Structures are given as structure tokens and as C-alpha cells.
A and B are shown apart, each in its own frame.
Chain A
Amino acid sequence: MSLLEELLAATPVLTDGAWGTQLQARGLTPGECPDQWNLSRPAEVEQVARAYVEAGSRVILSNTFGSNRVALAGHGLAGQAAEINRAGAAISRRAAAGRAKVFASIGPSGKLLMSGETTEEELRAAFSEQARALAEGGADALVVETMSDLAEAKIALEAAKSTGLPVVACMVFDTGRNKDRTMMGATPEQAAGELAACGADVVGANCGVGIESYIAICRRLKAATGRPIWIKANAGLPELVDGKTVWKMTPEAFAGFVPQLIQAGASFIGGCCGTSPEFIRAVAGVIGC
């Protein structure tokens, strides 16, 4: 049985929540590169991964969201890309300890192809290097996530596919009156169609403006493709309270939307910005695992 068949035998599959805020709680400072902690503070990174496994995640990601060399260059760390990715995948694998699968994270470059800030060749090289290193580090699958530009998503997806691992590809829908487009204007139907045609084994949506807005997005993705759907939504939008950014949505309120997501066809469910192991535990309670 393939990895995906094995997981999808019992749906929905619970994934994980946010990592950045969990690392901040352990001392990561604003502006510091979270991914570098895979080398400098591996124990803390492993604690975050383990917290999700203990909360009930059957799939955890990795602390490699910004570990492509284009994004790392902003921190002067491009030369350590392979090492950071290998370490990130290995940390998640240790934390999973056979109780969860590791779907290693590949985030965007942070540069726009269209305005010439980066090139297709540069992106292809960066994502290929990252995908290879994540596979070497022991990832079970790869997740191309938080993409705003289909062109970049497809380059990352092709690079990820070349490892032979299953690949999830998901985008952010947060633009337009109905918050149902990517930044570059793609609809869920376009995204699902093009990502599936490029070989994505699972397609989906993550981040965005809040879990309630992803119910309709999920339904539209599901209607547009036969592939399983992956949804990792934000806990709403943050607010500023006494100079600190806080998400006011509670784990229970977040989990309250999960039945609708399941009904809308989501096969993989987790959280993005503003979520924590408590949110995953609350979702676990709702889906009964």
C-alpha cells in the first residue's frame, strides 16, 4: 500500500499547526531565521515537532519552510541550504518516531518571477536542492505550501516530484472581494487543475484569512479535481493587544469549523498561522482520533 493510501484509509488525516510562533515561545527573535535553528537549536525544534505528534498529528511538517537558497540568501545562509534541510527533515523524523509521517515543508522564495526579482532557472535550482536534501533527511513526502504564484508553485512541485516522493501542493487564497483568489489572481479551480496536471498527489489551500473562508475554497478545490484535498487554515487574522499581536480565535472555535471542512471534502486537516498544539488537540477531539 502506498503512503497516501495508508494514510487515507482513515480520513480526515490530522496534520500539524504553526511552527514559527512555537519557536518564538522558545526564544526565536523577530528577524532571526527560524530554519537556522535546525542546526543551532535542534532540541527546541524537535520539541515543537513532538508537541504536534503528542497532540495527535498523523502528519507533521518540518522547520524548512524558508530553507530554499533564495529565501535563505536574505539571512546570508544560502550556502547552508542543503544542510539545514537535511537536518530539518531528520529532526521531524526523530520527533515522529514512527507515530506520524513527515511531510517536509517547501515554502515560497519570497521573490516574484514576474517582476524579475528571480528567474525560473534560479528557482528550479533552489527547489531541486531543497527537495533533494529533504528526501535525504528522511522525509516521507513533500509539501509545497503557502504559494501565491502558480508559476513558482509548479516549479517547486516539479522539483519535489523529481525526488519520487508523494507531493502535496497548496496555495494561499486571500485576495479579491471574496478572498477566493491567489495574490496573482488564480481561482481554486485554476490552481487545482494546473497543480494536478503537474503531478501533485494532493492539492490544497493553506494560510489565508481564516478557517471559515476555506470551507468554500475546499468545496471548490474538491469539485475541480479528483485528488485528495489538504487544508491548513489560519486562526482568523491577528489583532494587536497592548502592543502584542494575538489571535483571538480559540482552539474550540477553530475546531468548530472542522465538521464543515470535512463535509466540504477535506482529506488532510491542520492549522497555519495562529494555531498551536492545543488547536490540533481540539481538532483531534472533533474528528475523533
Chain B
Amino acid sequence: MPELWKLHDAILNGDAKTAVAVTQEALAENVSPLELVQKYMVPAMDQVGQRFECEEYFVPELLLAARAMKGSLALIRPLLVASGAEPVGRVAIGTVKGDLHDIGKNLVSAMLEGGGFEVIDLGADVSPEKFVNAVKERGAKIVALSALLTVTMGSMKNTIQALKDAGLREGVKVMVGGAPVTEQFAQEIGADGYSENASSAVALARKLAAA
């Protein structure tokens, strides 16, 4: 029997190699994939988030942990899908129209994947129509909008308007973030949530998915 706590610690320490090795070993010995996720991996990512909040961890540690999580999930997800388990939620994420900055968006995307979400990454400079299509055709339940430039913050508002115009606004939750974005701005444009960083974006997405 593999020592499963090692999977927890490997993710917490951003050690992708060990995380994958322990996962393989556990699956070979028929440990339930859902148990791995729920008892070891998600709690590890939660602890990563706590360390980030306490400023013990910064972006590099987040990235390493998310990478370890992703490595394990790649082995586990096909088994979960086969057993009929649904992902926590499906998120369409992108940097809004006119804005080519994608570092923040990529961080949030990695953390959401690490948090068990299925992420549809639409890239940067994404038009409102593309977000609409991701909801309409690919069934995204959460739309995550990123902007770094103050001049492109208006594109967030336009994207929310496009979702309304397409009659889709009721069925999706919209979350926003990026350096110039604030809680107040999020409220003003009618978003459902704002997160200050990639770590709290996961908590927010969970809250929105459960609502």
C-alpha cells in the first residue's frame, strides 16, 4: 500500500514527479481515484492557498503546486470520467478583447485546473462573441474574465452585456480579476464575483459553482 500522505505533501511542495509516481502506485493498487482527489489532493491545494494568503507562498510555489496537481489529475481524470463523476465545474476563461496580457489569466487557469475545474482557455484578446459561444456551445457555467490594461476594463462590461443580449446571463456566473480590477468595479459592471489573486479565484469559483 503506497503512503498516500506523500501525494498530499508532493502537491504541497510542488513536486510533480513524486505526485505522479504516488498516484500511479495508488491507482495500480486500486485506491479509489475519488478518494485520492478528495482526501489528499484537494486538501493539499487548499493548504497551498492558505500558505499563499499567509505570504509563505508566492506565485512560483503556486505554479509548482498546480503543476504537480495537474500531473496527478491527468492520470485520475479519465478514471473519474469513466465512473461518471463530473468535474467541479466548467469554466471558460480569457483575457478580454483588446488586451494581450495572459500571465494572470494563465495563473488562474492553472489554479482552477488544480482545483478540479474543467477549464476552457480561450486565450487573450477574446471577443465577447467567443465567450458567448463557449457558454452556448461548450456549456461553460462560469465565465472568468481577465484584464491588465485599464483601457480594456470596458471590454469586461461589454462581455457581460453580450451574454445578456444572447439570453445566457441567467445561466452563467461571471467572475473578474486583473491588476486594475477592484471589487467595486466588479459590482458596477454586474459581475458575480471578483478575486484579487489566482489562489482566491479557486475559492470564488467553487462558491459560484455551488450557488
Contacts of A74 in B (CB 8 A): 100, 124-125
Q: Which residue of B lies closest to A208 (CB)?
A: B179
A173 to B: closest C-beta gap in Å: 12
Distance between Cα atoms of A175 and B52 in the complex (Å) = 11
Provide the bound-state CA to CA distance between A20 and B99, in Å: 13
Question: B168: shortest Cβ distance to chain A, in Å?
Answer: 22
- Nearest-Cβ distance from residue A206 to partner chain B, whole angstroms: 13
Residue of B nearest to A175 (CB): B58
Whether A245 pairs with B180 at a CB distance below 8 angstroms is yes
B55, B102, B125, B157: the one contacting A181 at CB < 8 Å is: B55
The reply to whether the CB of A5 lies closer than 8 angstroms to some CB of chain B is: no
Q: Which residues of B contact A115 (CB under 8 A)?
A: 63, 67, 106-107, 110
The distance from the CB of A31 to the nearest CB of chain B, in whole angstroms, is: 3
Chain B, residue nearest A71 (CB)? B100
Among the stretches A90-98, A161-169, A222-230, A236-244, the one at the interface with B is A236-244
Partner-binding segment picked from A106-114, A192-200, A252-260: A106-114
Q: Are A117 and B59 in contact (CB under 8 A)?
A: no
**Interface SS of chain B:** helix
CB of B155, distance to nearest CB on chain A (Å):
7
Stretch among B18-26, B30-38, B113-121, B144-152 lining the A interface: B144-152
Residues of B within 8 A of A251 (CB): none
Known: A184-B59, A273-B150. A238 touches B157 (CB 8 A): no
Of listed A24, A30, A112, A237, residue having the most chain B CB within 10 A: A30
Q: Give every chain A residue within 8 A of B97 (Cβ-Cβ).
A: 30-31
- Whether A243 and B103, one on each chain, are in contact in the complex, defined by CB atoms closer than 8 angstroms, is no
Please tell me the size bucket of the interface on B. Answer: 35 or more
Which residue from chain A places its CB closest to the CB of B197 in the assembled complex? A175
Cα of A176 to Cα of B197 in the assembled complex, Å: 10
B174 adjacent to chain A (CB < 8 Å):
no
Report whether B103 and A181 are in contact in the complex, using a CB–CB cutoff of 8 Å: no
Given B103, B149, B189, which contacts A111 in the complex, CB threshold below 8 Å? B103
Tell me whether B99 and A31 are in contact (CB under 8 A): yes
Q: Are A31 and B152 in contact (CB under 8 A)?
A: yes
> Is residue A46 within 8 Å, beta carbon to beta carbon, of the partner chain?
no
Residues of chain A within 8 A of B63, CB atoms compared: 112, 114-115
A145 in contact (CB, < 8 A)? no
A245 to B154, Cβ gap below 8 A? yes
A184 near B98: Cβ-Cβ < 8 Å: no
Chain A residues 242-289 with CB under 8 Å of chain B are 243-245, 273
Residues of chain A with a CB closer than 8 A to B184's CB: 239-240
Per-residue A-contact encoding for B54-66, CB less than 8 Å = 1, 0 else: 0101111101000
Whether A35 sits at the interface, judged by CB under 8 Å, is no
CA distance in complex: A273, B151 (Å)? 11
A75 adjacent to B59 (CB under 8 Å): no
A183 sits at the interface (CB 8 A): yes
Q: Evaluate contact between A112 and B103: CB separation under 8 angstroms.
A: yes
Produce 1/0 per residue, A73-113, CB < 8 A to B: 01100000000000000000000000000000000001110
Decide yes or no whether B47 CB sits under 8 A from chain A.
no
Closest CB in chain B relative to A182 CB, distance in Å: 8
B188 located at the interface, meaning its Cβ lies under 8 Å from any Cβ of chain A in the complex:
yes
Query: Which of A31, A74, A237, A244 counts the most B-chain CB atoms under 10 A from its CB?
Result: A31
As a 0/1 sequence over residues 52 to 77 of chain A, the CB contacts with chain B under 8 angstroms (1 = contact) are: 00000000000000000001001100
Which residues from chain A sit less than 8 Å from chain B, CB to CB?
20-21, 24, 29-31, 71, 74-75, 110-112, 114-115, 117, 148, 174-177, 181, 183-185, 237-240, 243-245, 273
Give 8 closest A-B pairs by Cβ, nearest first: A185-B58, A31-B98, A30-B98, A74-B100, A245-B150, A30-B151, A238-B150, A240-B185
Residues of B within 8 A of A (CB): 55, 57-61, 63, 67, 97-103, 106-107, 110, 124-125, 149-155, 157, 179-180, 182, 184-185, 188-189
Contacts A/B (CB < 8 Å), 14 sampled: A30-B151, A30-B152, A71-B100, A74-B124, A114-B60, A115-B107, A117-B106, A183-B58, A237-B182, A238-B150, A239-B184, A240-B153, A240-B189, A273-B150
